[in-house]
Amino acid sequence: MKIVLSTLALILLPVMSFAEGCRHDQQAMTCAAGTVYDADSHSCVATTG
């Protein structure tokens, strides 16, 4: 019985964390010096001038 409960816990915990969902809207993009984030291309691009 302990093995069954342990197995269920190990299976259900990651599933429950995925159910929480990703918070993509709260992530911040960090670009290297001399570049800025371009939302259209979803990447860092070099700044001009």
Average pLDDT value for residue range 1-18: 78
Domain membership of residue 37 as a residue range: 2-46
Nearest to 42 by CA among 31, 33, 34, 32: 31
DSSP-assigned letter for residue 33:
T
CA atoms lying within 13 Å on the CB side of residue 2: 0
21-33, pLDDT tens digit by residue? Answer: 555 555 666 888 8
Answering whether pTM is above 0.95, one says no
Element (H, E) at 17: helix 2-20
Q: Is the pLDDT of residue 6 over 70?
A: yes
